[in-house]
Amino acid sequence: MDLELKGKIALVSGGSQGLGFASALQLAKEGAEVILLSRSPNNLQAAAQKIHEATGKEAVTIPIDVTHPDEIQNALQQALEQFGGIDILLANAGGPPFGTFLELTDDDFYYAFELNFMSTIRLIRGVIDSMKARKGGRIGIVVSQSAKEPIPGLLLSNSIRPGIVGLAKTLSGELANNQILVNCFAPGRIQTTRSTALDQANAQKQGIPLQELQHKSTQPIPLGRYGDPEEFGKVVTFYLSFANTYVTGQTIVIDGGKGQTLL
Protein backbone atom coordinates (compact mmCIF):
# COMPACT_ATOMS: atom_id res chain seq x y z
CA MET A 1 0.00 0.00 0.00
CA ASP A 2 1.24 3.47 -0.88
CA LEU A 3 0.77 5.64 2.19
CA GLU A 4 1.20 8.76 0.05
CA LEU A 5 3.79 10.20 2.41
CA LYS A 6 6.61 10.91 -0.03
CA GLY A 7 7.45 14.58 0.16
CA LYS A 8 5.06 15.27 3.03
CA ILE A 9 6.36 17.38 5.91
CA ALA A 10 5.82 15.88 9.36
CA LEU A 11 6.38 17.71 12.65
CA VAL A 12 6.78 15.45 15.68
CA SER A 13 7.05 16.83 19.20
CA GLY A 14 8.68 14.63 21.80
CA GLY A 15 10.36 13.10 18.79
CA SER A 16 13.79 12.26 20.15
CA GLN A 17 12.91 9.03 21.94
CA GLY A 18 10.14 6.64 22.91
CA LEU A 19 6.83 6.69 21.07
CA GLY A 20 7.51 10.00 19.35
CA PHE A 21 10.77 8.78 17.88
CA ALA A 22 9.27 5.44 16.85
CA SER A 23 6.53 7.30 14.97
CA ALA A 24 8.94 9.76 13.35
CA LEU A 25 11.14 6.89 12.19
CA GLN A 26 8.23 5.09 10.53
CA LEU A 27 7.05 8.31 8.88
CA ALA A 28 10.56 8.83 7.49
CA LYS A 29 10.73 5.23 6.28
CA GLU A 30 7.54 5.86 4.30
CA GLY A 31 9.01 8.93 2.63
CA ALA A 32 8.04 11.87 4.85
CA GLU A 33 10.46 14.64 5.75
CA VAL A 34 10.53 14.81 9.55
CA ILE A 35 11.11 17.65 11.98
CA LEU A 36 11.86 16.53 15.53
CA LEU A 37 11.13 18.64 18.59
CA SER A 38 12.47 17.78 22.04
CA ARG A 39 14.06 19.35 25.09
CA SER A 40 17.36 17.47 24.79
CA PRO A 41 19.78 18.51 22.02
CA ASN A 42 21.82 15.35 22.63
CA ASN A 43 18.80 13.07 22.29
CA LEU A 44 17.72 14.95 19.17
CA GLN A 45 21.13 14.50 17.59
CA ALA A 46 21.09 10.78 18.38
CA ALA A 47 17.55 10.42 16.99
CA ALA A 48 18.44 12.24 13.76
CA GLN A 49 21.46 9.97 13.33
CA LYS A 50 19.31 6.85 13.74
CA ILE A 51 16.81 8.13 11.18
CA HIS A 52 19.64 8.88 8.75
CA GLU A 53 21.12 5.42 9.20
CA ALA A 54 17.74 3.76 8.65
CA THR A 55 16.43 5.90 5.80
CA GLY A 56 19.17 8.10 4.41
CA LYS A 57 17.06 11.14 5.29
CA GLU A 58 18.29 14.17 7.20
CA ALA A 59 15.83 14.89 10.00
CA VAL A 60 15.60 18.50 11.11
CA THR A 61 15.94 18.93 14.88
CA ILE A 62 14.73 21.86 16.98
CA PRO A 63 15.35 21.83 20.75
CA ILE A 64 12.33 23.22 22.62
CA ASP A 65 10.45 22.87 25.87
CA VAL A 66 6.78 22.58 24.93
CA THR A 67 5.69 24.11 28.23
CA HIS A 68 7.07 27.44 26.94
CA PRO A 69 4.72 29.08 24.40
CA ASP A 70 7.43 31.28 22.87
CA GLU A 71 9.60 28.24 22.13
CA ILE A 72 6.72 26.51 20.36
CA GLN A 73 6.06 29.62 18.30
CA ASN A 74 9.73 29.97 17.33
CA ALA A 75 9.99 26.29 16.39
CA LEU A 76 6.89 26.46 14.21
CA GLN A 77 8.15 29.60 12.49
CA GLN A 78 11.49 27.93 11.81
CA ALA A 79 9.83 24.81 10.42
CA LEU A 80 7.44 26.77 8.20
CA GLU A 81 10.22 28.99 6.86
CA GLN A 82 12.43 26.01 6.03
CA PHE A 83 9.80 23.79 4.42
CA GLY A 84 7.09 26.21 3.36
CA GLY A 85 4.36 24.30 5.18
CA ILE A 86 3.40 21.41 7.42
CA ASP A 87 1.31 18.44 6.27
CA ILE A 88 1.39 16.29 9.41
CA LEU A 89 1.56 17.04 13.12
CA LEU A 90 2.08 14.48 15.85
CA ALA A 91 1.60 16.26 19.17
CA ASN A 92 3.39 14.22 21.80
CA ALA A 93 4.86 15.14 25.17
CA GLY A 94 6.24 13.28 28.11
CA GLY A 95 3.74 12.02 30.61
CA PRO A 96 3.01 14.14 33.69
CA PRO A 97 4.42 13.10 37.07
CA PHE A 98 3.11 10.07 38.92
CA GLY A 99 1.11 10.61 42.10
CA THR A 100 -2.15 10.26 43.96
CA PHE A 101 -4.50 13.13 44.86
CA LEU A 102 -3.02 13.81 48.29
CA GLU A 103 0.52 13.70 46.93
CA LEU A 104 -0.02 16.28 44.18
CA THR A 105 0.08 20.07 44.50
CA ASP A 106 -1.53 22.85 42.51
CA ASP A 107 1.80 23.35 40.75
CA ASP A 108 1.77 19.71 39.64
CA PHE A 109 -1.66 20.19 38.06
CA TYR A 110 -0.65 23.44 36.35
CA TYR A 111 2.50 21.79 34.99
CA ALA A 112 0.57 18.80 33.62
CA PHE A 113 -1.94 21.17 32.00
CA GLU A 114 0.84 23.11 30.26
CA LEU A 115 2.84 20.02 29.33
CA ASN A 116 0.09 17.95 27.81
CA PHE A 117 -2.98 20.09 27.14
CA MET A 118 -1.77 23.57 26.26
CA SER A 119 1.23 22.33 24.26
CA THR A 120 -1.20 20.36 22.10
CA ILE A 121 -3.40 23.40 21.55
CA ARG A 122 -0.47 25.64 20.66
CA LEU A 123 1.06 23.16 18.25
CA ILE A 124 -2.26 22.58 16.48
CA ARG A 125 -3.01 26.29 16.33
CA GLY A 126 0.39 26.83 14.71
CA VAL A 127 -0.11 24.36 11.83
CA ILE A 128 -3.77 24.77 10.89
CA ASP A 129 -3.32 27.69 8.49
CA SER A 130 -0.57 25.83 6.67
CA MET A 131 -2.69 22.68 6.37
CA LYS A 132 -5.64 24.68 5.08
CA ALA A 133 -3.43 26.32 2.46
CA ARG A 134 -2.15 22.88 1.40
CA LYS A 135 -5.73 21.60 1.03
CA GLY A 136 -5.52 19.09 3.84
CA GLY A 137 -3.50 17.66 6.67
CA ARG A 138 -3.26 15.08 9.40
CA ILE A 139 -3.11 15.78 13.12
CA GLY A 140 -2.37 13.08 15.68
CA ILE A 141 -2.17 13.41 19.45
CA VAL A 142 -0.50 10.84 21.67
CA VAL A 143 -2.56 10.39 24.81
CA SER A 144 -2.64 7.25 26.95
CA GLN A 145 -4.83 4.32 27.81
CA SER A 146 -5.75 6.50 30.79
CA ALA A 147 -7.99 8.44 28.39
CA LYS A 148 -10.18 5.33 28.29
CA GLU A 149 -9.57 3.75 31.69
CA PRO A 150 -8.04 5.54 34.69
CA ILE A 151 -4.69 4.08 35.76
CA PRO A 152 -3.93 3.94 39.51
CA GLY A 153 -1.17 6.32 40.52
CA LEU A 154 -1.54 8.46 37.39
CA LEU A 155 -4.11 11.01 38.55
CA LEU A 156 -2.67 13.82 36.43
CA SER A 157 -2.78 11.74 33.27
CA ASN A 158 -6.26 10.44 34.16
CA SER A 159 -7.43 14.05 34.51
CA ILE A 160 -5.75 15.69 31.51
CA ARG A 161 -5.89 13.02 28.79
CA PRO A 162 -9.71 12.77 28.54
CA GLY A 163 -9.81 16.52 28.00
CA ILE A 164 -7.43 16.16 25.07
CA VAL A 165 -9.68 13.48 23.58
CA GLY A 166 -12.62 15.88 23.86
CA LEU A 167 -10.57 18.58 22.16
CA ALA A 168 -9.60 16.26 19.31
CA LYS A 169 -13.16 15.04 18.78
CA THR A 170 -14.46 18.59 18.52
CA LEU A 171 -11.61 19.69 16.25
CA SER A 172 -12.21 16.77 13.91
CA GLY A 173 -15.63 18.19 13.15
CA GLU A 174 -14.48 21.79 12.88
CA LEU A 175 -11.64 20.94 10.47
CA ALA A 176 -13.31 18.25 8.37
CA ASN A 177 -14.31 20.65 5.59
CA ASN A 178 -10.63 21.50 5.20
CA GLN A 179 -9.72 17.82 4.77
CA ILE A 180 -7.75 17.90 8.03
CA LEU A 181 -8.16 14.63 9.92
CA VAL A 182 -7.63 14.55 13.69
CA ASN A 183 -7.10 11.39 15.74
CA CYS A 184 -5.69 10.41 19.12
CA PHE A 185 -3.45 7.44 19.85
CA ALA A 186 -3.78 5.72 23.21
CA PRO A 187 -0.87 3.40 23.99
CA GLY A 188 -1.19 0.71 26.60
CA ARG A 189 1.86 -1.10 27.89
CA ILE A 190 4.56 -0.20 25.38
CA GLN A 191 8.17 -0.84 26.37
CA THR A 192 9.52 2.69 26.80
CA THR A 193 11.60 4.60 29.32
CA ARG A 194 8.41 6.00 30.88
CA SER A 195 6.74 2.59 31.20
CA THR A 196 9.86 1.25 32.89
CA ALA A 197 9.90 4.21 35.30
CA LEU A 198 6.24 3.60 36.13
CA ASP A 199 6.93 -0.08 36.70
CA GLN A 200 9.88 0.74 38.94
CA ALA A 201 7.76 3.11 41.02
CA ASN A 202 4.99 0.54 41.39
CA ALA A 203 7.45 -2.24 42.19
CA GLN A 204 8.99 -0.11 44.90
CA LYS A 205 5.57 0.67 46.39
CA GLN A 206 4.67 -3.02 46.39
CA GLY A 207 8.07 -4.08 47.70
CA ILE A 208 8.69 -6.56 44.88
CA PRO A 209 11.40 -6.87 42.19
CA LEU A 210 10.85 -5.02 38.92
CA GLN A 211 10.85 -8.28 36.93
CA GLU A 212 8.06 -9.69 39.10
CA LEU A 213 5.98 -6.56 38.68
CA GLN A 214 6.43 -6.61 34.89
CA HIS A 215 5.49 -10.28 34.75
CA LYS A 216 2.29 -9.52 36.68
CA SER A 217 1.59 -6.57 34.39
CA THR A 218 1.59 -8.75 31.29
CA GLN A 219 -1.04 -11.14 32.67
CA PRO A 220 -4.08 -8.96 31.78
CA ILE A 221 -2.74 -8.41 28.24
CA PRO A 222 -4.25 -10.99 25.87
CA LEU A 223 -1.14 -10.93 23.68
CA GLY A 224 0.89 -11.70 26.79
CA ARG A 225 3.61 -9.06 26.42
CA TYR A 226 4.40 -5.37 26.33
CA GLY A 227 4.22 -3.73 22.93
CA ASP A 228 7.23 -2.58 20.99
CA PRO A 229 7.52 1.14 20.09
CA GLU A 230 7.85 0.14 16.43
CA GLU A 231 4.40 -1.46 16.57
CA PHE A 232 2.98 1.78 17.91
CA GLY A 233 4.78 3.82 15.26
CA LYS A 234 3.39 1.73 12.41
CA VAL A 235 -0.19 2.27 13.54
CA VAL A 236 0.37 6.00 13.97
CA THR A 237 1.98 6.27 10.55
CA PHE A 238 -1.02 4.77 8.78
CA TYR A 239 -3.55 7.07 10.45
CA LEU A 240 -1.33 10.11 9.82
CA SER A 241 -0.84 9.09 6.20
CA PHE A 242 -2.80 10.30 3.21
CA ALA A 243 -3.89 6.72 2.56
CA ASN A 244 -6.19 7.34 5.52
CA THR A 245 -8.97 9.44 4.05
CA TYR A 246 -12.00 8.60 6.22
CA VAL A 247 -10.97 7.96 9.82
CA THR A 248 -11.12 11.07 11.97
CA GLY A 249 -12.24 12.01 15.47
CA GLN A 250 -11.19 8.64 16.86
CA THR A 251 -9.01 7.47 19.73
CA ILE A 252 -7.08 4.46 18.48
CA VAL A 253 -6.05 2.18 21.34
CA ILE A 254 -2.78 0.28 20.90
CA ASP A 255 -2.65 -2.02 23.91
CA GLY A 256 -2.45 -5.69 22.89
CA GLY A 257 -6.12 -6.13 23.75
CA LYS A 258 -5.81 -5.16 27.41
CA GLY A 259 -8.55 -2.52 27.55
CA GLN A 260 -12.03 -3.68 28.47
CA THR A 261 -14.01 -0.64 27.34
CA LEU A 262 -16.40 -0.95 24.40
CA LEU A 263 -15.96 2.65 23.22
At residue 194, does pLDDT exceed 90? no
Mean pLDDT of the chain: 95
| Contact (Cβ atoms closer than 8 angstroms) between residue 94 and residue 69 | no
DSSP code at position 192: S
Q: What average pLDDT score do residues 22-46 get? A: 97
The predicted model scores a pTM of 0.95
Q: How confident is the model at residue 168 (pLDDT cuts 50, 70, 90)?
A: very high
Q: Is the pLDDT of residue 225 over 90?
A: yes
Residues 23 and 233 sit within 8 Å (Cβ to Cβ): yes
Q: Can you tell me the mean pLDDT for 141-147?
A: 94
Q: 172-185, pLDDT tens digit by residue?
A: 999 999 999 999 99
- The yes-or-no verdict on residue 202 having pLDDT over 90 is no
Q: What is the mean pLDDT of residues 137-165?
A: 94
The larger pLDDT score, comparing residue 197 to residue 143, is at: 143
Please report the sign of the dihedral spanned by the C-alpha atoms of residue 93, residue 183, residue 199, residue 223: negative
What does the pLDDT average to over 31-36? 98
Report in angstroms the alpha-carbon separations of 59 from 44, 62, 132, 214: 9, 10, 24, 34
Average pLDDT over residues 11-17: 97
